Amino acid sequence: MTTFLGMPATAPRGVGQLRGDRTFPQAAHAALGDAQLRRNLRHATATIRSRSGRVIAELPDWQQLRAAGSALKADVMARLPQLLQQLEARVSEAGGVVHWAADAHEANAIVTDLVRRTGSDRVIKVKSMATQEIGLNEALEAAGITPVETDLAELIVQLGDDRPSHILVPAIHRNRSEIRDIFRRSMPGVDPDLTDDPPVLAAAARKYLRETFLSTTVAVSGANFAVAETGTLAVVESEGNGRMCLTLPDTLITVMGLEKVVPTWADLEVFLQLLPRSSTGERMNPYTSMWTGVTPGDGPQNFHLVLLDNGRSAVLADPVGRQALHCIRCSACLNVCPVYERTGGHAYGSVYPGPIGAVLSPQLTGVADNASLPYASSLCGACFDACPVKIDIPSLLVHLRNRAPHPRAERAMMRAAAYLMDRPRAYARAQRAAKLARIAGRRGRGLPPPLSGWTAGRDLPPLPEQTFRDWWARRARAAEEA
Ligand code: SF4
């Protein structure tokens, strides 16, 4: 079934964090030179992998849960407009206000205007990939509003004037002494003799954040799920900071990607089992906050839901590529990816790193703007095996490689190969051509320019001693003589 939400447009340029300023190979090259980064990544991904593997092995019906999650997501994509309208109706009935944002510009303008109307010049934030995607912090700062990240890792990234490098552990590239230095340098009111002992660092962050929670009247969050049948939003997190943001302020603004809607409460049951085991390696998520509109006298008295497109309709319009919208942001594919483990998240240039980033970002921006990302994979398939909603990332990568613009020399070479393969005699002559034999002799050195780009990242295999045709002819001759 084809589903359209208006005219599918890709995410606009010049706003947000979906495009890097270097190609993946350029950025990865720099990252590979950082031994400390690689040590941090190896340790963190190996730890999460083994914890997650242990708790997944406890569930005898894990594969059935994955199949259910995959089927539910496919169903959501097939009737997304209807579910979103149902969600809008239920949220409005419950006292919330729903805003539709076609892109990052619109979403930033909506949120900025809503915060301004409260009179507050500061907002507290729950970790949210959607708001990073649209560059909300930068937009708020430009409007004179200070956003304060309250997730510990996000706070480290924000105070370090840095960018997240993992979906779940945004500061995975930092070790504890680096974090101590960042806190000493940038955390207001911090003890100048702060040590790098983890409990001491956590206590410093807690003290700073608690004061901020109690004195800020507006919060901005993302959402992990939204239930269409009741208008209920859900945020899952591990530190309790999200619970504080979602309950203490007067005004709550939630920015949610369109694809996060699920039809019913019963569907949440599947995802709330899949997500914690795949992401943090926990049996249950520590803090799962759910709310439906506004409850008089309890929690925020003003609730706004911003439904964000920003390229998602364009992804949905591709019947193959839309699988990338099934993602529940567990980060399991990052933790098993041999490429991610060596390069880290910054090399992907987008807020969405790792295998899911390699298929989601190019589709949100248009493949031409992130053309190197579909190649940021060895196609080993570990991401597919790990994904709790069975997104076939390797097939998506190949699909996007076919849509990526190819260099002129490569296109010319492929056209020439297609011409020859259509003409058996010409093909046979070409095989015998002395030039081809010379090229074959270049094993280990790659093809000469202008084709050298194609072999820069691949070995050029030697041509066999004899071609299939020669072998076949010799065999036929031998049979005749026998
Ligand atoms: S693609 Fe799958 S494994 Fe990767 S983050 Fe999304 S849900 Fe998790």
Query: With contact defined as beta carbons under 8 Å apart, do 292 and 232 qualify?
Result: yes
369-407 pLDDT per residue, tens: 999 999 999 999 999 999 999 999 999 999 999 998 887
pLDDT digits (tens, 9 = 90+) for 113-126: 999 999 999 999 99
| Rounded average pLDDT over 415-425 | 88
Pick the residue whose CA is nearest to atom 8 on ligand 1. Answer: 330
Mutation pick for ligand 1 pocket among 389, 392, 396, 397 (CB with most ligand atoms within 8 Å): 389
327 Cβ below 6 A of ligand 1: yes
pTM of this prediction?
0.89
CA 215 – CA 243 distance, rounded (Å): 16
Given the CA of residue 330, which atom of ligand 1 is nearest to it?
Answer: 8
Our answer on whether the CB atom of 332 is closer than 6 Å to any ligand 1 atom is yes
Whose C-alpha lies nearest to ligand 1, atom 2?
Answer: 387
Q: What is the pLDDT of residues 259-290, one digit of tens each?
A: 999 999 999 999 999 999 999 999 999 999 99
Which of 387, 392, 393 most suits a substitution to test ligand 1, by most atoms within 8 Å of the C-beta? 387
Atom of ligand 1 nearest to the CA of 331: 5
pLDDT band at 442 (very low <50, low <70, confident <90, very high): low
Atom of ligand 1 nearest to the CA of 278: 8
Number of neighbours of residue 463 by Cβ within 10 angstroms: 14
Least trusted range by pLDDT, from 41-50, 187-196, 331-340, 416-425 = 416-425
What confidence tier does 458 reach under pLDDT thresholds 50, 70, 90? Answer: confident
120/343 Cα distance (integer angstroms): 40
386 dihedral zone (left: phi>0; alpha: psi -120 to 50; beta):
alpha
The Cα 56–Cα 53 span in angstroms is: 5
Share of the chain above pLDDT 90, in %: 78
Q: Which atom of ligand 1 is nearest to the CA of 332?
A: 3
Instruction: Write the residue with the smallest CA distance to atom 3 of ligand 1.
Output: 387
Tens-digit pLDDT profile for residues 169-225: 888 888 889 999 999 999 999 999 999 999 999 999 999 999 999 999 999 999 999
CATH 3.40.50.10420 range(s) for the chain read 73-313
pLDDT in the model for residue 1: 45
pLDDT of residue 441: 54
Contact residues for 259 (Cβ-Cβ < 8 A; gap 6+): 76, 77, 80, 312, 316, 325, 326
The mean of the pLDDT values for the chain is 92
Beta bridge partners of 221: 254
Average pLDDT, integer, range 100-110: 98
Residue 416, pLDDT score: 86
| pLDDT exceeds cutoff 60 at 353 | yes
Query: Can you tell me the mean pLDDT for 158-169?
Result: 88
Closest C-alpha among 308, 347, 353 to residue 329? 353
As a whole number of angstroms, the distance between CA 396 and CA 127 comes to 27
Fold (CATH) for 73-313: Rossmann fold (3.40.50)
Q: Give me the pLDDT at residue 411, please.
A: 81
Residue 223 C-alpha from the chain's centroid: 15
pLDDT at 432 over 90: no
Q: Is 389 in the pocket of ligand 1 (CB under 6 A)?
A: yes
Question: Could you tell me the distance, in angstroms and rounded to a whole number, from the CA of residue 356 to the centre of ligand 1?
Answer: 6
pLDDT class of 11 with cuts at 50, 70, 90: very high
Q: Is 356 in the pocket of ligand 1 (CB under 6 A)?
A: yes
Q: Does the Cβ of 331 fall within 6 Å of ligand 1? A: yes
Shortest-distance atom of ligand 1 to CA 328? 7
Q: What is the pLDDT of residue 205?
A: 95
pLDDT over 70 (residue 143): yes
217 vs 427, which has greater pLDDT?
Answer: 217
276 lines ligand 1 (CB under 6 A): no
Q: What pLDDT sits at residue 469? A: 82
Q: Is the pLDDT of residue 422 over 60?
A: yes
